Amino acid sequence: MIDALNHLPRPRAGAEELAGQFGDLAPPLTARQAAVESSRCLYCFDAPCVNACPSEIDIPSFIHRISDENLQGAAERILSANILGGSCARVCPTEILCEQACVRNNAKECAPVLIGQLQRYALDNAAFSEHPFKRSPASGKRIAVVGAGPAGLSCAHRLAMHGHDVVVFEAREKSGGLNEYGIARYKLVDDYAQREVEFLLGIGGIEIRHGQRLGDNLSLTDLHQQYDSVFLGLGLNAVRQLGLPDEQAPGVLAATDYIRELRQADDLSQLPLADRCLVIGAGNTAIDMAVQMSRLGARDVNLVYRRGHADMGATEHEQDIAKANQVRLHTWARPDAVLLDDDGRVRGMRFARTALVEGRLGDTGETFELAADAIFKAIGQCFDEHSLGDPLAAQLARDGERIRVDAGMRTSVPGVYAGGDCTALGQDLTVQAVQHGKLAAEAIHAQLMLNVEAA
């Protein structure tokens, strides 16, 4: 249970009713709907949707296979580019990527081809009797992958395809990373993240060791000496702070901590509920936190951001989800003080009104207060410096707090590669992390084979 919120009551609704509140956000397409939707694709020769897809899925090709009722072929085409295509179909912001680029997305038609839902349809309905990809002959090489999130799993799978043996070191008790612990429960239902991991491991040659944390019982120096290559898919595991007094008071919590508890809970009726809830932030995590609190039964949910709607990290689609779940979005306001009751617990927050002054964000001098039983911080995550504390890790070049890599995901330390949120590339999307892992695996394989030929 979450200690900082233990004083709060539990939801009024029972476990069964709450489970219904966390059903699938977007119901899957029926066979008829998939047939109609796939027929809308123009199979463009220069397919702008492919250019907009971070994992470079051949979208017209898999949609054409759906139209031909070849779901097996469609699924294999997706997975050959993105082995986590099932979860990406559910959580990827297709509205600002492939679907935004779709040529059907114009003023006359007003709607792109529903690429994400078609991708999900193909993968949910393809019947694989065995893993669709085969391992190449054993190479005799062993690679260490740190982190069993989307980047690490993608890297491990592609390396296994090339015949290498992979050992994945994961700090938590379950694999999946963000998909398992950090995505809204209504986006990945029915233990989908674990089922996808099990499918991925079906290729063989991948061992996952849990309870292994870089900087604690694992060091980059040892991995570098014991394995032929190392891939770091560390993610961002530390939470940014507001920098306010009383930030550690009961009732203040990182949104990611609550989301993790919610996703792992067998009985949602046992979670602490903030009847009046404040979420600070403007990204997908902030939206996920606010919407889930509303679905648990919170009476008053407010999300507050220091800039305007146009600057929010969450897409317009995500903002619409929040509004549909009775979340109030407040903009141009920054946290100024945590307000406590006589028992030292959160009773609300004071905010300072903000505005752009000569292009810079500043205070207007006006303040206001919002009552709250709990405040959830979703102002971004940062790098856990403790994980790179050993001498070799300290040599990794950084861009700010993140690890610097080149186009092949190589770090400044030979033999060490990195990808996903711990690097400075991309927008911290699951689909981009998958692509990073794939690119790193190809670069690792090429280097290892080059070394074999040179020997």
Where residue 6 falls (left for φ over 0; alpha for ψ -120 to 50; beta otherwise) is alpha
Q: What is the residue extent of each domain of the chain? A: 31-125, 142-236+383-454, 239-380
Structure tokens at 178: 């963000």
CATH code 3.40.50.12780 for 142-236+383-454: no
Domain 239-380: which topology? FAD/NAD(P)-binding domain (3.50.50)
Q: Report the C-alpha gap between 136 and 387 in whole angstroms.
A: 33
Closest CA to 86 of 96, 97, 95, 78: 78
Q: Report the C-alpha gap between 298 and 403 in whole angstroms.
A: 39
Over residues 198-202, the mean pLDDT reads: 96
Tens digit of pLDDT for each residue in 85-94? 999 999 999 9
Cα separation values, 23 from 47, 123, 244, Å:
34, 19, 37
Residue 183 and residue 288 in contact, taking contact as beta carbons nearer than 8 Å: yes
Under DSSP, the state recorded for 179 is H
Nearest-10 crossing angle of helices 71-81, 115-125: 110
Cα 325 to chain center, whole Å? Answer: 21
What's the maximum distance between 2 C-alpha atoms anywhere in the chain? 73
User: What was the pLDDT predicted at 453?
Assistant: 62
Q: Which helix (H) or strand (E) holds 70?
A: none
The rounded mean pLDDT for the chain is 94
Tens digit of pLDDT for each residue in 221-279? 999 999 999 999 998 888 899 999 999 999 999 999 999 999 999 999 999 999 999 99
Q: Report the C-alpha gap between 238 and 235 in whole angstroms.
A: 9
Q: Is the pLDDT of residue 59 over 90?
A: yes
Under DSSP, the state recorded for 421 is G
**If one looks up domain 31-125 in CATH, what number appears?**
1.10.1060.10
Closest CA to 118 of 85, 166, 153, 143: 85
Which 3 state secondary structure label does DSSP give 362?
Answer: strand
Residue for token pair 């796939």? 38
Q: Report the C-alpha gap between 381 and 223 in whole angstroms.
A: 26
Query: Same fold for the domain at 142-236+383-454 and the one at 239-380?
Result: yes
pTM of this prediction?
0.94
- CA quadruple 106, 109, 111, 112: dihedral, nearest 10: -60
Residue 280 and residue 242 in contact, taking contact as beta carbons nearer than 8 Å: yes
Over residues 116-145, the mean pLDDT reads: 95
Top pLDDT among 385 and 105 is at 105
User: What was the pLDDT predicted at 146?
Assistant: 97
Tens digit of pLDDT for each residue in 143-175? 999 999 999 999 999 999 999 999 999 999 999
